[in-house]
Amino acid sequence: MLKQFLQFKLSQKLSPQQIQLMKLIQLPTQQFEQRVAQEMEENPALEGGKDENEDFDDDFNNEEYDDGNEHIDADDINIDEYLSDDDVPDYKLQANNYSADDEDKHVPFASGISFSEYLQSQLNTVQLTEEEQEIAAFIVGSLDESGYLRRPVKDILDDLAFTQNIYTTEEAIEKVLLEVQELDPAGVGARNLQECLILQMERKTPTASVELALRILEDSFDAFSKKHYDKLMQKFEITPDELRDAINEIERLNPKPGGAYSGNTRMIEHIVPDFNIRIVDGKLDLTLNGRNAPELHVSKEYTNMLKGYKEANEKSKSQKEAVQFIKQKLDGAKWFIDAIRQRQQTLYVTMNAIMHYQEEYFLTGDERKLRPMILKDIADEIGMDVSTVSRVANSKYVDTPYGTKLIKEFFSESMKNDQGEDVSTREIKKILEITIAEENKKKPMTDDKLAKILKEKGYPIARRTVAKYREQLDIPVARMRKEI
């Protein structure tokens, strides 16, 4: 049975302007510059640089703007709101104390050939039949960014038949693969780490250490990878010094030959710090990268168009349509300029709170001085939402006297020490890292032993927690840290 009834519902929605502001806050410096350039290209009412003749009223923080979907008749537009008799441009009343570190706003791009093209250029000098050239090119195209051939020869055989209309045999592909493995850099075209290291070792000048290293790689790779040194010395009847020399030869090899090529197809990401922290007279000084504060103003031409419309005695239909378009672009330009100001303020206030919260670290550079800090701590301090702090922390970098750091690295959970005080998990990880670095590598400490040492230092954590922190630090287990 159908019934009709009234229902009151209270909901909260973000306006398009608020959503766009959140997106602007999340952008790091380089992407923000691209976003500004895109907005200036799409909105002709927005211009960059200073306009000496600007008389546009920028005091629009309390104005209501339509979202572009609602139709407003030209006669309903109050043109006086968009015009001002103020002879002093707004930018002349603003202070700009950003550094001049940002004159060079364009990052040069290096040109070159890709890793695959580099290998293909070498193939052109190898004597191969037309079919072998096509197979070799297909193999090169199948290599991953490290230079490995991860696909079985059988799969390559099928793909050649289906995609290239080349019907061959596994033996023929293996033969061409041997030619690919002769290319530079050494080790390219290997199907696993063992084969990669062997290919490189075979190209080295033969010495006693090189020949022993090659035998170890070919006959006892599993024992070598697990660092069973006693078994290796027993099997090859060698002394610890001879084994050490052979291992030194292996350690000089490159496990990822493709990654060493500077013209690799991977995108090189340039990090531009969004903030700069310096120590001046024993105090911290924070500045926002000036590239985050572009000089923008509303086009004088567009305001003159509105003046012309206002002064016209008769207003045609085309003029009314034009003034609606002009209003939309002016509103968009005014909002964008305001959004940039809000972005600057949000970034500075957030980073300033983080800097003072971690003041002891920024003054010393000692990671053991990092205080436990979560997003909510900063959000409560600056009176903003946790999501806003997260947007700032996850995508921004700060240039410090100790290097360029990702801001989210300063956040960490807390644990209790033996005195009941809250300490940062980053502090514990740093102490764990130092402890392992100082251990006797001939007898590396197990996780149990590390847990006992940390407990003695005042950090009572379990063995499984030590193992978790060790893995997060990318430190192998004790057996894999052993040296001769």
Domain boundaries, the chain: 15-101+273-411, 115-260, 412-484
Of the two residues 86 and 367, the one the predictor is more confident about is 367
Amino acid at residue number 87? D
pLDDT higher for 78 or 365? Answer: 365
How do residues 7-50 score in pLDDT, each as one tens digit? 666 654 555 666 777 788 888 888 888 888 888 888 887 777 65
| Token pair for 292 | 């985050």
pLDDT of residue 354: 93
As a CATH number, domain 412-484 is 1.10.10.60
Joined tokens for residue 169: 């045999």
Which is higher by pLDDT, 125 or 70? Answer: 125
Mean pLDDT of 87-96: 44
Give the percent of the chain with pLDDT over 70: 75
**Calpha distance 146→142 (Å, rounded):** 11
| pLDDT at 309 (0 to 100) | 60
Q: List the helix and strand counts (H, then E) for the chain.
A: 19, 8
Q: Is residue 285 over pLDDT 80?
A: yes
Query: What is the pLDDT of the chain when averaged over all its residues?
Result: 77
The answer to whether 89 touches 337, Cβ cutoff 8 Å, is no
pLDDT score, position 103: 47
Q: Tell me the pLDDT tens digit for each residue of 133-159.
A: 888 888 888 888 888 888 888 888 888
DSSP 267: P
- The terminus-to-terminus CA distance of the chain in angstroms comes to 84
pLDDT score for 261:
62
Task: Tell me which long-range contacts 305-311 makes (C-beta under 8 A, separation of at least 24).
Answer: 306/79, 306/82, 306/83, 306/330, 307/79, 307/83, 309/79, 310/79, 310/80, 310/83
Q: Which three-class secondary structure state does DSSP give residue 239? A: coil
